[in-house]
Structure 1
């Protein structure tokens, strides 16, 4: 089964180097890169590893929040929001939508 999670990419301010990304639906899942594209590439791997760890631990996988319902703090310097699509196996205690 495939799911698409939003990564919020921050950065690009004068004096800052690189970009960082976080997944509002998955606390602790983060990505980084020298450019927005690099951050998106890193986000694919980070998301896959994070979800694999959750499945291994028997944690419930949350359903992705629709883009128009994302809660992003007002002071976040959003450079981009990108959907990252990932395949997640159905396992007991794993993916639930």
Structure 2
């Protein structure tokens, strides 16, 4: 099975959080992208194993997510100058 994963960089630059939208609650992390991807494979396998062991249905991702990024320009007032 294939699943889309989302890698979110840590705001402090300490690694990545990985979520799997089709598998609710399947979350992991890694210090590097490679580590995060390896951990994601393991997390997905364990998550699916747990679902099967509990007799739950294993969700499919139909259709796969399409990555899309948008930019939004937000105008803000200039900060007040001091000094």
| TM-score above 0.5 | yes
Partner SS for 2:4: strand
Conserved? CA contact 2:10–2:17, under 8 Å: no
Of structures 1 and 2, the one scoring higher in RCO (CA 8 A, sep 6+) is: 1
Larger Rg: 2
TM-score (norm 1): 0.62
Aligned structure 1 segments of 4 or more residues deviating by more than 4 angstroms: none
Give ranges in structure 2 of 5+ residues lacking alignment.
Answer: 68-83
Report how many residues are paired.
66
Q: 2:53 matched to which residue of 1?
A: 56
TM-score (norm 2): 0.72
Structure 1 or 2: more strand by fraction:
1
* CA root-mean-square deviation: 1.5
